[in-house]
Structure 1
Amino acid sequence: MTASLPLVNPFAAPGIARGKARLLAPRADSTHDDLYVDVCGSGSAYRAFQDDFDLGTVIEHGRMVLVVGDTGCGKTALLNRCLHHMDTILGGHFDKVVHLDFVDLIPWAYDPATELKIPERIELVARELFEQLDQEDALHTGSTALLEKALDRSYHFAFHRLNQCLVNGVAVVVHLPTPGEFVDEITAYAYSIRRPRIVYIAETSSLQTIDYDHLRDKAPSDKAPLVMVKLRLINTEEVHRFLEVRRAAAHGTGIFPTLADDCLPILRKCRTIRQLEAICFKAYQTRLDKNDRYTTDDVITQVDVIAAQAAVLTPTTARAEP
């Protein structure tokens, strides 16, 4: 029976082409939801999000969700899980939920002299938002021209009109570009141009303690505060938990070697879940691609892990955040 099972990488998300992404995306494949491991505070952060994200507020005011934490702590993977939960909540009430991904809409600016200011950034998002909503048949006929004309006046005025133009029974989730002038831009989306039935979601690694206070101070008393989802870096105890949960989840799905005990001290030095997962994925995938010593009786060795670590930490190696 065991011989009929396929060879698998226990650190590869199911449904994703072998050797490609490691990002969990439960909206695309609901089985990914079972692969989340409670590290970096993600378990408590997700439960807090579930408690804070309520349908009534979205219907009456709209909502802003912000995922924060150091680079590599798993923000994008947790954001994907939050989006999956939104689908469940919003899909049970609205006829249609439109998801728009604007993460790559605004290029990263390395030169401060050419970096777009907040009004310019929001105007770019607004123009793309109106156009895509029109393509999704989420706006009343003729609304795009009306919104574009309003946008020529100001983005505040255009977003005020958006609520009148949105078709009944439609909710919108907008994944924003990473904020530029962070606090003021988030404040604009969260409290100034937030509209009913529209949810904005963003992620950032630049938030400081003083920024939390500023965002709280900016919150109007008549509007719900933004939903803050906070993550931290992984600790050494959580490394072992991640390895055990991921390998346990893969048992029964296919054949893969065990991980030698002397690999653990190396993996415990990982500071981020992104780095840990990338190294484990690479160590297994290298052996799997060669189909070299890849049975349940074989072992991923310290040599395998060190080689994977060197490949992952090479600056030119492309990495996706888990």
Structure 2
Amino acid sequence: MTATPTADEPLGPSPDATRTDRVPDAPRPPVGSAAGATGGPAQAGAGGPARTGKGGSVPAGTGRRRRAARPPNPFAVPGLRRDVDPLNPLRHRDHVHFYVPVDHTEESFEQCQEEFGDPSYLHHEGRLVLVTGERGCGKTALINRCAHWLREQLGKADLTAEVVDLTREARDNEAIPQRRGNVCRALMDKLFELQLLTTNLAYEMRDSPDDAYRNLPGCLERDQVLIVLLPPSADLTEELVYYGIRAPRRVVFFAETAYALPAEHRQALDRDSPVPPVYLHVSGFDHRHADQFAQHRLDRLPAGTLPRLAPTALEDFIDNGRLATIREMQWLLYGLYEELRVQDDRPDEVTWEHISRHFIRRLRDLEGQP
């Protein structure tokens, strides 16, 4: 029999053995920003620090032959600084190619496209788009994708779209009136900075959100549409209903919450909002979607560059009916392949044992953090 792999074992080839143990459920990885399809930080070049197969540095002046450039990490995404930052095609257009149809993201994206297929109604109405899902399931990445698509779609309808990111303009522990005030002031400040206001009336009302939102359409060019990304919400009714009611014409609010949306809260939103909100949802996934995500990333490298995952590697890691998140898989596999790419002695394929040993090391690192 074989014991559960330990963190001290290398990630090189492992002896043939029968797995007899399973690792505990993986913890939530560190939050890089709001959760979801995510990517890792882009690497400055294919080369990393030259190291031996056991992790030791090669001393300078040893006369050894210079090593070939290290392969890139397939889980690194250009433009991102942290391994769990969400994809953002609003800033990096090529991120649209990194989305993988897992955890209901594709269905939700297609639903958004359907709702705004003909955006001409925005001349007369505003809209709230609400994305729900647990932490780490890709809410922020989905919003970024939808906002990017909507901006392009509005351009095709002879409308000028501006995305205004207010996601960092309020905190969860603030009272709802304070959050509303902070968001409204930040929005008016940014519109003033961008010179999108034809008159300062709404800006002068920035301390009175109700008045500012009511007068905002008259302070914009007639073809100007605003796509406003709101801070994540911890409230299920009052704050969200407010934006559903107050969304001025030619303004689309995008909001996200990690809390479930009971039927009575959805009924309140539908009843009190002039136009029913667009409801999108993302969730965790099983080993099949985890494997689909991993293969999508690995397929970006030429065959044979780095070892592939064994057919049952993730099935064995995500077991007992547990659901993983896109952030968890990105955190785990980015770190694993960051180690593999700088090794000289790599396994033929990545097995459950390799993933488990890496997971235990990362867990120890997290436990050692203050």
> TM bucket by the smaller chain?
0.7 to 0.9
Q: 1:278 aligns with which of 314, 320, 331?
A: 331
Question: Using the alignment, how far apart are the partners of 2:226 and 2:364 within structure 1?
Answer: 39
Q: How far does the alpha carbon of each residue in 1:164-185 deviate from its partner, in whole angstroms, 9 at most, with x for none?
A: 1123332211111122432121
CA contact (8 A) 2:202 2:215 kept: no
Give the number of equivalent residue pairs.
Answer: 296
User: Quick check: 2:234–2:259 contact (8 Å CA) kept in 1?
Assistant: no
Amino acid at match of 1:244: Q
User: 5+ residue gaps in structure 2?
Assistant: 1-66
Q: Which has the larger radius of gyration?
A: 2
Contact kept? 2:202, 2:213, Cα under 8 Å: no
Q: Which amino acid aligns with 2:259?
A: S
**Cα root mean square deviation, aligned:** 2.8
Is the 2:88–2:95 Cα contact (8 Å) retained in structure 1? yes
**In the alignment, which residue of structure 1 is the partner of 2:301?**
251
Q: Of residues 313, 320, 329 in structure 2, which corresponds to 1:263?
A: 313
Secondary structure (helix, strand or coil) at the match of 1:265 reads: helix
Evaluate the alpha carbon distance shift between residue 307 and residue 80 of structure 1 in structure 2; reply closer, same or farther with a 3 A threshold: farther
- Structure 1 unmatched runs, 5+: 110-114, 318-322
Instruction: Return the alpha-carbon distance in structure 2 between the equivalents of residues 66 and 97 of structure 1.
Output: 19
Indicate conservation of the 8 Å contact 2:203/2:212, yes or no.
Answer: no
State which of 92, 99, 105 in structure 1 corresponds to 2:169.
105
* 1:227 partnered with 2:290: no
Are 1:218 and 2:281 matched, yes or no?
Answer: no
Equivalent-residue separation in structure 2 for 1:285 and 1:101 (angstroms) = 31
Q: Whole-Å Cα distance in 2 between the matches of residues 26 and 43 of structure 1?
A: 15
Higher relative contact order (CA 8 A, sep 6+): 1
**1 CA distance for matches of 2:158 and 2:70?**
41
- Give the CA deviation at 1:103: 1.4
Distance 1:143 1:306, change over 3 A: same
- Residue type of the partner of 2:98? L
The Cα of 1:195 is off from its aligned counterpart by 0.6
Instruction: Please report how far the alpha carbon of residue 56 of structure 1 lies from its aligned counterpart in structure 2 after TM superposition.
Output: 1.8
How many percent of aligned residue pairs carry the same amino acid? 26
Q: Which of 205, 216, 239 is residue 258 of structure 2 equivalent to?
A: 205
Q: Which residue of 1 aligns with 2:140?
A: 76
Partner SS for 2:86: coil
Q: Specify which of 209, 216, 219 is matched with residue 165 of structure 1.
A: 219
Contact 1:101 1:174 in 2 (8 A): yes
Q: Which amino acid in structure 2 is aligned with residue 167 of structure 1?
A: E
Residue type of the alignment partner of 1:237: R
From 12, 20, 36, the counterpart of 2:99: 36
Deviations 1:172-230 (A, max 9, x none): 11111122432121111112x111111110111113323223322334xxx33111111
Comparing 4-13 with 226-235, greater Cα deviation is found at: 4-13
* 2:185 pairs with 1:132: no
User: Contact (CA 8 Å) 1:65, 1:201: kept in 2 or not?
Assistant: yes
**Separation (CA, whole Å) in 1 of partners of 2:258 and 2:135:** 6
Q: 1:4 to 1:60 in 2, by over 3 A?
A: farther
How far has the Cα of 1:75 moved from its partner?
Answer: 1.2
Moved over 6 A (4+): 3-6
Name the residue aligned to 2:360: 310
Q: Distance in 2 between matches of 1:306 and 1:13?
A: 24
Q: Is structure 2 residue 243 aligned with structure 1 residue 185?
A: no
The 1:142/1:25 distance shift into structure 2, 3 A limit, reads: closer
Secondary structure at 1:131 match in 2: helix
Name which of 24, 29, 43 aligns with 2:87: 24
CA contact (8 A) 1:6 1:254 kept: no
In structure 2, do the counterparts of structure 1 residues 239 and 142 end up closer, same or farther at CA, with 3 Å as the change threshold? closer
